[in-house]
Each structure stands twice: as structure tokens, then as C-alpha cells.
């Protein structure tokens, strides 16, 4: 379902909370609404399910104006998760999740299956949690139940208003990770309000930045990080936005498929290997089997000290590798821990695809920070 805001405006007396907002939310993507308090992000969200009336402009769902849709029915077809969650204390977890399906008069058998499905999805064992009451579960678990409740009737899309805001930082990270997993599986269209830029960068496919009711920038996350519209956005992203970007750029965008390697499988002696390394002015080399599998690495220093006829296989040390899907941040972390200036990139079967070099990462940082001159 396409969601379009056209010149969306909300006025409270003299105050313009939302000012002629024009935005279209992509299907199956998680779009973030972020901005300082008072920017109108929650107002926009609550206009989407008509909890807040629209002063001017329109919202169109698949072309149909929101004014032509019955608000009650609209809300029953949209998932809504708020910061306080608002679980009903007098209902069991099951009954809480079943709320909207029951409003829609689903057959109880269908509801039962759906609740179990959802509990599994949010990593809560159905047998354990189905009949518990909100007062009997922890804060983090309540948040998950809230998400499950929002997804219960398989809504067209999900509205989330700082759903993880009230959780302590450690559990929040975990919840966000779980949530990313869930989104990867269900691919819902989500409009997500937050004031935390880290959360926005971590979760969002697209980010919409609002200020005093106006849309400042709306783009793919990486684009927003790369090309902030103005100083306001830069400040919002923070001075470490380049580092934030590293968490988003995948190795596959930056690694080199051309790389130096030494053959494993007792094919080379220390002496011969050392010759090859010296020829390339290298201090170490990765070992690769005939099939192309990563075998480890050898340091030139170790080769010098070893018996010249020794096979390099015995001298090889094991090495951490990274998948193309990994982030540059993970690559850097590996480099720091291993002490090597490059990390081998492998696929699911450990077949070497290439290497990612410290230099490549650094170039990327400079590119993101806009200081790629030196």
C-alpha cells in the first residue's frame, strides 16, 4: 500500500505543528521520522492513523484520501506501537495480542495460531508466555509483546512511536537487533519515530528529518550521512557521522578482488615463500588452498626464523575473516584485534573473495567526511 502525504498541515491555534509536509513512504521499507522535540514527528505519525485531525492537506492510501476512510477501520488495519506500550494489565499476553483480531472478529482458531506465531517471531516461548499477565513479565518482554500486538492483525503497515525509548540501553540494543531480524523476515512498511540518531541510522532504510514541522531531508540512510542537506542535519548526525557511516557501508562495496596469496597444501617451502613476499615488498601473506579456501596467514618474520625447507603450512597462523555482508566497522575492529592491515573476505564456504584493506576503509571515511584531499 502506498502512503502519500500531500501538503500535510496541522495547526494548533497559532502554532504550526506540521507545515505542508510532502512525503511518500516506501513499501516494505522502514522509514524514520526524526528531529528535535517539537519538530512534529509524533504529530505526523498520529495523523497517519487519524488519531490527530488534519488541518490542511491530505494523506492518501493507494490514492484514497484519508478523509474518505472510516477512522476506526483505518486504525484496525494499521499496527500502532507507542513508547509506553500500554499493555492492558487485566488481560493476559494472549488476550492483549488478540485485541485487534478480536475487534475484526477473526475465528478464535485463527487467532490462536496467529498469537503463537507472533510470540515465536518476537522470541518469547508461546507456552511460557501465552497466559502470563503484563505484571508478570519484564520491561523488555513487555516491549516485545507490544510489537507482537501491533503486528497481530497482519496490518498493511506499522506505526511506531519511540517503541524502545523506555528501555535501558543494554536491552534496547538487543531489542533493536531482534527487531531488525524480524523486519528482515516480515518486510513490513514501517514509519518509525525516534529522537535517537543512532537508532535511526541502525534501523532505518530511509530517514526523514523534520524541523519545526518542515521536512528538511528525506533520503536513503547512507545518502543522508554522506550528503547532509545543511548544518542542522550535520549537527543532528553528530560529529562522528563518518563512523556511523562505517556501520552502514558493507565490505562488499569496498574490497579488492585482486589480492596476493600463497598456495597452501605443502606446495611451498619457507625459503620460496619468503622470496615471493620480498619480491612484493610484503610483510605477510594469506594462504589459499587449491580450491580457493582461506587457510591462514604467515608473517615474513616467522619465515626468516624458520628452517628454510619447512613447509609454510606448519608455520601458518589462523586468521579471522569477514563476509561481504559485514560492515566496515566490523572490518576495522578485526584489523585492530589481529594487527594486520587487511582482512580476508570470504563467502559462506570460506572461499576467499578478496581482501579489505585498512587503506580502503580509511578512504571511505574520508569520502564520507568530505575530506578526501590528503
Partner 1 sequence: MITYLSQNSSYVLEKLGQHVMLFLLSWILAMAIGMIIAIISTRPGNEQIGKILIAVTGAAQAIPSIAVIALSYIFLGIGATPAVFALFIYSLVPITFNAASGLLNVDPAMKRAARGMGMTNTQILFRIEIPVSVRPIMAGARSAATITIGAATIATVIGAGGLGDIILIGLRLMELDMILAGAVVTAALAVAVDGLLALLERVTISPGLVTKEI
Q: In whole angstroms, what is the distance from residue 117 CA to residue 92 CA?
A: 16
Interface with partner 1 includes 338 (CB under 8 A)?
no
What phi and psi, each to the nearest 5 degrees, are found at residue 118?
Answer: -65, -40
The residues facing 101 across adjacent strands are none
Q: What is the separation of C-alpha 18 from the centre of its chain, rounded to a whole number of angstroms? A: 27
Interface with partner 1 includes 73 (CB under 8 A)?
yes
Interface with partner 1 includes 170 (CB under 8 A)?
no
Interface with partner 1 includes 105 (CB under 8 A)?
no
Interface with partner 1 includes 92 (CB under 8 A)?
yes
Residue from 14, 37, 135, 239 touching partner 1 (CB under 8 A): that is: 135
Choice between 73 and 234, CB closer to partner 1: 73
Choice between 142 and 288, CB closer to partner 1: 142
Residue from 85, 119, 246, 298 touching partner 1 (CB under 8 A): that is: 85
At its nearest, how many Å lie between partner 1 and the CB of residue 51?
6
Interface with partner 1 includes 311 (CB under 8 A)?
no
At its nearest, how many Å lie between partner 1 and the CB of residue 217?
28
> Per CB under 8 A, which region of 87-95, 192-200, 252-260, 310-318 contacts partner 1?
87-95
Interface with partner 1 includes 108 (CB under 8 A)?
no
Residue from 35, 134, 285, 344 touching partner 1 (CB under 8 A): that is: 134
At its nearest, how many Å lie between partner 1 and the CB of residue 77?
8
Choice between 27 and 136, CB closer to partner 1: 136
Q: Per-residue contact track with partner 1, 39 to 58, x per CB under 8 A?
A: -------x--x-x-------
Interface with partner 1 includes 69 (CB under 8 A)?
no
Choice between 87 and 322, CB closer to partner 1: 87
Residue from 26, 84, 177, 314 touching partner 1 (CB under 8 A): that is: 84
Residue from 14, 90, 127, 257 touching partner 1 (CB under 8 A): that is: 90
Residue from 37, 68, 72, 281 touching partner 1 (CB under 8 A): that is: 72
Interface with partner 1 includes 157 (CB under 8 A)?
no
Choice between 78 and 182, CB closer to partner 1: 78
- HEC sequence for the chain: CCEEEEEEEEEECCEEEEEEEEEEECCCCEEEEECCCCCCHHHHHHHHCCCCCCCEEEEEECCEEHHHCCHHHHHHCEEEEECCCCCCCCCCHHHHHCHHHHHCCCCHHHHHHHHHHHHHHCCCCHHHHCCCCHHHCCHHHHHHHHHHHHHCCCCCEEEEECCCCCCCHHHHHHHHHHHHHHHHHHCCEEEEEECCHHHHHHHCCEEEEEECCEEEEEEEHHHHHHCCCCHHHHHHHCCCHHHHHHCCCEHHHCCECCCCEEECCCCCEHHHHHHHHHHCCCCEEEEECCCCEEEEEEEHHHHHHCCCCCEHHHHCECCCCECCCCEHHHHHHHHHHHCCCEEEEECCCCEEEEEEEHHHHHHHHHHHHCCCCC
Residues that bind partner 1 (CB under 8 A): 46, 49, 51, 72-78, 80, 82, 84-92, 99-100, 103, 133-136, 149, 159
Amino acid at each position: 500500500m502506498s502512503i502519500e502525504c500531500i501538503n500535510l498541515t496541522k495547526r494548533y491555534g497559532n502554532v504550526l505543528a506540521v507545515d505542508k509536509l510532502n512525503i511518500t513512504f516506501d513499501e516494505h521499507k522502514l522509514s524514520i521520522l526524526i528531529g528535535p522535540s517539537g519538530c512534529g514527528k509524533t504529530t505526523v505519525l498520529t495523523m497517519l492513523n487519524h488519531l490527530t485531525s488534519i488541518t490542511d492537506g491530505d494523506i492518501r492510501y493507494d490514492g484514497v484520501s484519508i478523509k474518505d476512510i472510516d477512522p476506526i477501520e483505518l486504525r484496525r488495519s494499521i499496527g500502532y506501537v507507542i513508547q509506553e506500550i500500554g499493555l492492558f494489565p487485566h488481560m493476559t499476553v494472549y488476550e492483549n495480542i488478540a485485541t485487534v483480531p478480536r475487534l475484526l472478529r477473526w475465528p478464535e482458531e485463527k487467532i490462536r495460531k496467529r498469537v503463537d506465531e507472533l510470540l515465536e517471531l518476537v522470541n518469547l516461548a508461546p507456552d511460557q508466555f501465552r497466559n502470563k499477565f503484563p505484571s508478570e513479565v519484564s520491561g523488555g518482554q513487555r516491549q516485545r509483546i507490544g510489537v507482537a500486538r501491533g503486528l497481530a492483525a497482519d496490518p498493511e503497515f506499522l506505526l511506531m512511536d519511540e517503541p524502545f525509548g523506555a528501555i535501558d540501553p543494554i536491552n534496547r540494543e538487543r531489542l533493536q537487533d531482534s527487531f531488525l531480524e524480524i523486519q528482515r523476515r516480515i518486510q513490513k512498511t514501517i514509519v518509525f519515530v525516534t529522537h535517537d540518531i543512532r537508532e535511526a541510522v541502525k534501523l532505518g532504510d530511509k530517514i526523514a528529518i523534520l524541523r519545526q514541522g518542515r521536512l528538511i531531508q528525506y533520503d536513503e540512510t547512507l545518502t543522508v550521512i554522506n550528503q547532509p542537506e545543511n548544518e542542522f542535519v550535520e549537527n543532528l548526525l553528530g560529529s562522528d557521522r563518518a563512523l556511523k557511516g562505517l556501520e552502514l557501508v558493507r565490505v562488499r562495496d569496498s574490497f579488492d578482488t585482486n589480492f596476493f596469496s600463497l598456495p597452501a597444501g605443502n606446495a611451498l617451502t619457507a625459503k620460496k615463500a619468503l622470496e615471493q613476499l620480498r619480491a612484493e615488498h610484503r610483510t605477510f601473506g594469506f594462504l589459499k588452498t587449491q580450491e580457493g579456501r582461506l587457510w591462514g596467514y604467515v608473517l615474513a618474520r616467522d619465515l626468516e626464523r624458520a628452517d628454510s625447507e619447512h613447509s609454510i603450512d606448519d608455520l601458518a597462523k589462523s586468521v579471522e575473516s569477514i563476509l561481504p555482508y559485514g560492515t566496515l566497522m566490523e572490518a576495522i575492529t578485526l584489523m585492530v584485534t589481529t594487527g594486520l592491515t587487511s582482512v580476508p573476505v570470504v563467502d559462506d564456504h570460506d572461499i576467499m573473495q578478496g581482501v579489505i584493506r585498512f587503506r580502503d576503509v580509511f578512504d571511505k571515511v574520508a569520502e564520507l567526511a568530505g575530506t578526501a584531499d590528503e
